[in-house]
Structure 1
Amino acid sequence: MAIKRVGSQTVKLLNPPAIVSAASIVGPKEGQGPLSNYFDKVLEDDLFGEDSWEKAESKMLKEAVRMAVSRQDLMLPDIDYMLGGDLLNQLMSSSFAARDLQIPFLGLYGACSTMAESLSLSAMLVDGGFADRCIATTSSHFSTAERQFRFPLELGNQRPLTSQWTVTGAGAALVANDDGGPFITYITTGKVIDYGIIDANNMGAAMAPAAADTIGRHFDDTGMLPEDYDLIITGDLGRYGRDIASDLLKTKGYEVVKNFTDCGIEIFNPKKQDTHAGGSGCGCSAVVFCGYLFKLLREHRLNKIMLISTGALFSPTSAQQGESIPSIAHAVTIESKKKN
């Protein structure tokens, strides 16, 4: 009997695991944005001393993992599982990082939903007694994602206003049995939703229905309401996607305007940085959570948040074949204090 199951898509963790440390590394553009003071490391150049952008992304991920682990005075062999992924074919950045880190690895592909997915599964492993410590990771890089999914950078293509800027960054969060906080208390796993969007430069519109579906399902399953949260924050919808998701949630009877934002909105200044609709990419919700939100939770400036990382599950092949863009969103409730 699934005693931790709540409703159709949500689980309530009976012994909520703690996020005991986190680390974030970002590129130069992200380091010029409004959250710059919250990131642990800002790169001087997006090659990070490597000879390719893909190697740079993998190096960011390795360094974020090492930083998060060392903050607990632990060694890499003390970690039971590393869970994570990225946007590249065959999870290249994550797999090569795991090769060097030598932590038992579970590779995940949820596109930009991967940070919430890795946090969800890490928490389930720890709460279920299968692990004492898991490291949840995710990364992306503007240059690697652009040339895989859109155009060679050398072309300098003009970007439409609905487009978003893929975040160069990596985040790592260490999930463990601990009495400190913050704690992962609820997990709502999303369904794949497809409204028929085919424009790869309008990812917010493609992902917004999945975000609204998961958020609405979370409220239906738990009986909680938007006002029970200090902050409800999606991963990669940007300005247009956030507004679409808000409108869709209204049709479900949930008003989320006052405490609803998006990591892609928060990470850049669109007027000064020319990022159009905002940020995106696996690293977007990863660095905003691991660098910004985690610190606010530790300082009790936020007491209860819902992080909903949103992912577009398309590939260069599916796009070239004219397929629509199926999307998914996973939600985790994170609270600064453990409830009795």
Structure 2
Amino acid sequence: MNLKRIGNQTVTFENPPVILSSYSVAGPKEGQGPLGKTFSKVWPDTINGNKSWEVAESKMLEEALQGALKQSNLQQSEIDFMLAGDLLNQIISSNFAARTMGFPFIGIFGACSTMALSMAIGSMLIDGQFARNVLVGVSSHHDTAERQFRLPTEHGSQRPMSAQWTVTGAGSVVLAQSGKGPRITAATIGRVLDYGEKDVNNMGAAMAPAVSDTILNHLQDFNRKPADYDLIVTGDLGNVGLQLSKEILKRSGIEMANQFNDCGVLIFDPASQDVHSGGSGCACSSIVFAGDIMQKLISGQYQRVLLVGSGSLHSPTSALQGESIPCIGHAVVIEA
């Protein structure tokens, strides 16, 4: 058996799947940020006429999925699987969107790493010849996340400076066995690491070791260095986690250059938007990738990108019981 796995944690694709299309739907705060013009659609408010924040998030995901499908020029019958996930209990945003979309559905939970994980699994399905075309999408919503994981926003709770702002949005891509577009050439599946961080308002610090571990293993598996990438971008470490990750990698002998950044840092303007350490949530990396990064891959500004999703795998129950926060990072290589 000729395995497609190399090194410790990486798989390469013999027939790299093509990203045929992408679509991003963003909330109003995200639309006002530095990347606002790169999103396919910006909602005027966070509820957009729906009866609840949770319904709004599911509709936002559905809109992103339909947008990516339409732009791919594929027929509904040509999609073999839909992969989706979100932050809410039982991934209800994705389940309810899947109820409407009607595709064979694989629900995925990787917390904020779900976009990268879904792209990796979708690529495996296509390269393994289990599917021709796969529709991938993830979502998060600031208000649904606050209601579930912390306290309702109407409580007016004080947020520490290490806290991040959950991104309201949904991003989607269509992966295909053939066609024109950037290709996913490899994926590095992360390990769950837990260094004892218990502060749910400091997820960047909790996630940094796991994300750094994935980057380190990826580079070692390929015998590559950071300069081999035009961009190495993490999902949502925020400013605190990004700086910590740089320090961890430096101590491991990897000096990260200017091409190392974080979607949670890129998506908001810290000078004019009060988000403290930056953005977070499943939608953070998904709408930055489906918008700005995809556009730069298509234009040729980027030739090779490493997208590293970062996931904080705690729940409200585990946090209330005083458990520490296990975390993970998953990476995919996208080449123009």
TM-score past 0.5 threshold: yes
Q: CA deviation at 1:270?
A: 1.1
1: CA distance, partners of 2:7 / 2:160: 40
Report the equivalent of 2:150. Answer: 150
Q: CA deviation at 1:2?
A: 4.7
2: CA distance, partners of 1:19 / 1:297: 11
Report the equivalent of 1:22. Answer: 22
Q: Does 1:68 align with 2:68?
A: yes
| 2:113 alignment partner, SS class | helix
CA contact (8 A) 2:169 2:284 kept: yes
Q: CA deviation at 1:131?
A: 0.3
The one-letter code sitting in structure 1 at the alignment partner of 2:302 is L
Q: How do 1:273-292 residues align onto structure 2 when only pairs under 5 Å count?
A: 273-292=273-292
| 1:272 alignment partner, SS class | coil
2: CA distance, partners of 1:64 / 1:244: 33
Question: 1:298-338 CA distances to partner (integer Å, 9 max, x unpaired)?
Answer: 111111010001000000000000000000000000000xx
2: CA distance, partners of 1:205 / 1:178: 40
2: CA distance, partners of 1:47 / 1:74: 30
2: CA distance, partners of 1:257 / 1:249: 11
Deviates more, 1:105-114 or 1:173-182: 173-182
Q: Does 1:268 align with 2:268?
A: yes
2: CA distance, partners of 1:59 / 1:69: 15
| 2:112 alignment partner, SS class | helix
2: CA distance, partners of 1:75 / 1:162: 45
2: CA distance, partners of 1:270 / 1:76: 41
Question: 1:187-246 CA distances to partner (integer Å, 9 max, x unpaired)?
Answer: 000000101000010010000001100000001111111110000000010011001011
Report the equivalent of 1:91. Answer: 91
Q: CA deviation at 1:181?
A: 2.0
Question: 1:37-86 CA distances to partner (integer Å, 9 max, x unpaired)?
Answer: 10000000110210000000000111101110111222333211111100
Question: 1:88-132 CA distances to partner (integer Å, 9 max, x unpaired)?
Answer: 000000000001100111001100000000000001101110000
Say how many residue pairs are matched.
Answer: 336
Q: Does 1:298 align with 2:298?
A: yes
Report the equivalent of 1:330. Answer: 330
Report the equivalent of 2:211. Answer: 211
| 2:331 alignment partner, SS class | strand
CA contact (8 A) 2:227 2:257 kept: no
Deviates more, 1:210-219 or 1:149-158: 149-158
2: CA distance, partners of 1:331 / 1:133: 21
1: CA distance, partners of 2:78 / 2:58: 21
2: CA distance, partners of 1:106 / 1:229: 31
Q: CA deviation at 1:259?
A: 1.1
1: CA distance, partners of 2:103 / 2:49: 24
Report the equivalent of 1:176. Answer: 176
Percentage of matched positions with identical amino acids: 54
Q: How do 1:229-244 residues align onto structure 2 when only pairs under 5 Å count?
A: 229-244=229-244
The one-letter code sitting in structure 1 at the alignment partner of 2:27 is G
| 1:82 alignment partner, SS class | strand
2: CA distance, partners of 1:298 / 1:19: 10
Report the equivalent of 1:124. Answer: 124
Q: CA deviation at 1:182?
A: 0.4
Cα pair distance change 1:14/1:55, threshold 3 Å: same
Question: 1:157-198 CA distances to partner (integer Å, 9 max, x unpaired)?
Answer: 111110000000000010001242200001000000101000
Deviates more, 1:315-324 or 1:250-259: 250-259
Q: Does 1:138 align with 2:141?
A: no
CA contact (8 A) 2:233 2:308 kept: yes
Extract unaligned runs of 5+ from structure 2: none
2: CA distance, partners of 1:225 / 1:179: 30
CA contact (8 A) 1:76 1:101 kept: no
| 1:273 alignment partner, SS class | coil
Extract unaligned runs of 5+ from structure 1: none
2: CA distance, partners of 1:246 / 1:51: 43
2: CA distance, partners of 1:90 / 1:2: 37
CA contact (8 A) 1:161 1:277 kept: yes
TM-score, normalised to structure 2's length?
A: 0.99
1: CA distance, partners of 2:16 / 2:244: 32
